[in-house]
Structure 1
């Protein structure tokens, strides 16, 4: 019986030893070093032939593109598992993977702390005008143009999507203490009593009470533009919108309009629809705090993500399944 192969597709920075320890006894480890998508497709028949598992990091897209239908359909029939490094997996066509019998896992939980603290920073910066103040002091303007800000302890935070990241943000924000509201498809059973749940039919009621809306919905076809004109206008006048999920989950044009006409008081954005490109209109809005997708940019989080993705591959080889199958591939 041929020894199975694992293809390392993208960066492993922190878990080199774990890669050898966890996968070395189970499979041959092959590094994807194709400089282009065309080269990758050619070598699927040679150097990469016989691969069974794939470790995937988004950095591989710089060379071979995303795992769209074209790429997934060209993978060898031997491929059974793609272990994606990341909580969001919008760069993988999971429906085509399912049709081909390929399982896909992600790394939920590993990113919770780093992304939640990023969201918390954006909440505080936007509420207290800290990013404007920093630009002022660097430009020799001191407090010019700064209006009295709000104490976070006086604000109501609404969390759209109470998954691992949203839940961790709720815990952190409660320490101020902020009032916490949340909306998810279903109430989260382990949520403390201080977090108030609002189902879809009461969403406008939640938004009307909201000072800060933090978005934590995953990007899928059905969630593109999920938060748009209607939702922004339902928010309290002067409210702040924070997004650390994916740029396309919100309607950016509607957000900019609502800030320009004064309905929204500002925003904190770590993600954008066309990264790394940022809409230049955002640079003209001083009440918007901008970050270059820093949500998981900590060595601690990245190490946890790498190890968790590797663990999913190890579990597949040893027991036939990993613990972090994406929801679309879980059996109902």
Structure 2
């Protein structure tokens, strides 16, 4: 990039949150351009013209955008001037971060900014699933009052198992413990250090957690290790009359195994709450057969407050990238590669 050329920041989709702040804080040091390419091949051609001097891509997840999955091929097209992908979201399964690292490109995300809103969604799903509130609302709307509505269960005194005690999982655990008196156990690859500021017990294996948990709440990222990792063996290990909630990514659950578990005559599933699905925006119609399943259309961060916080984190990441300052939100996989000297 010529010394006198201003760097470009490419918006990969329509920006709705913290837009004013972006132009105020980033517009003074870089040109901000919107993606107008209609396909990946057109984008490749436009790199030499419309997006010349590209330095940072502000990546907004959109299943229908022209860029699609940011993979090895995509990164091979980018000019040497483009060294950063600043992703709008905590989850980033549509970005191959290992391939990006191979091409010298850092990827950032927005952890922390999504914790409260996503945790609120998880809490709602836990309560709806354990109290069968979806079934009750369905009855009301059909004018059936309590006809055919079985007695539900209380969350108080039950055990909550958190799979993936990160930012979101920690907020869920704290709220359910303080608000509903639930005992908290959790499973990560290793115990959290320093220990959380609320009472909880580390389980050395997922199977151990499933055997003692009345409610299981999933909060792990989607990657090659976690894809469909909650499957037949995990459903078999759950306690009778237990609840499963997923606000992570739909792909971490083996949906076929979930349907088998729900349909089983002696099903262990008292209730299920899902905010995420493997093939969004499609939802498997078979899930709608069950009155004990609460479904939401990926509402985790669907609040103006949360989206604004996420936008401000992206702005900070872009600013650090352009100024050559340390990145505060580089994705864990890349930070691990750096620490290992790879």
TM-score (norm 2): 0.93
Residues 298-321 of structure 1: CA deviation (Å, up to 9, x unaligned) = 101111111101110101222433
Q: Which residue of 2 aligns with 1:12?
A: 15
Q: Does 1:228 align with 2:227?
A: no
State the distance in 2 between where 1:270 and 1:113 align. 15
Q: Is the 8 Å Cα contact of residues 312 and 321 (structure 1) preserved in structure 2?
A: no
Instruction: Tell me whether 20-29 or 55-64 shows the greater mean CA deviation.
Output: 55-64
SS of residue paired to 2:230: coil
Q: Does 1:21 align with 2:24?
A: yes
Q: Is the 8 Å Cα contact of residues 106 and 326 (structure 1) preserved in structure 2?
A: yes
Shift of 1:252: 1.1
Q: Does 1:92 align with 2:95?
A: yes
1:281 to 283, 286, 295: 286
SS of residue paired to 1:231: helix
State the distance in 1 between where 2:144 and 2:73 align. 53
2:45 to 42, 45, 65: 42
State the distance in 2 between where 1:237 and 1:60 align. 37
State the distance in 2 between where 1:242 and 1:279 align. 17
Q: Which residue of 1 aligns with 2:329?
A: 324
Matches within 5 A, 1:240-259: 240-259=243-262
Q: Does 1:271 align with 2:276?
A: yes
Shift of 1:173: 0.6
State the distance in 2 between where 1:58 and 1:156 align. 35
Instruction: Tell me whether 113-122 or 182-191 shows the greater mean CA deviation.
Output: 182-191
Q: Is the 8 Å Cα contact of residues 22 and 311 (structure 1) preserved in structure 2?
A: no
Residues 220-248 of structure 1: CA deviation (Å, up to 9, x unaligned) = 11110111111111110111110000011
Q: Is the 8 Å Cα contact of residues 156 and 179 (structure 1) preserved in structure 2?
A: yes
2:144 to 129, 138, 141: 141
Q: Is the 8 Å Cα contact of residues 174 and 198 (structure 2) preserved in structure 1?
A: no
Structure 1, unmatched stretches of 5+, are: none
2:105 to 90, 93, 102: 102
Shift of 1:213: 0.4
TM-aligned CA distance change 1:279 to 1:59, over 3 Å: same
Shift of 1:38: 2.9
Shift of 1:77: 2.0
Shift of 1:144: 1.6
Instruction: Tell me whether 22-31 or 69-78 shows the greater mean CA deviation.
Output: 69-78
Q: Does 1:196 align with 2:201?
A: yes
Structure 2, unmatched stretches of 5+, are: none
Shift of 1:68: 2.1
Superposed CA RMSD in Å reads 1.3
TM-aligned CA distance change 1:88 to 1:257, over 3 Å: same
State the distance in 1 between where 2:215 and 2:115 align. 19
1:68 to 68, 71, 80: 71
TM-score (norm 1): 0.96
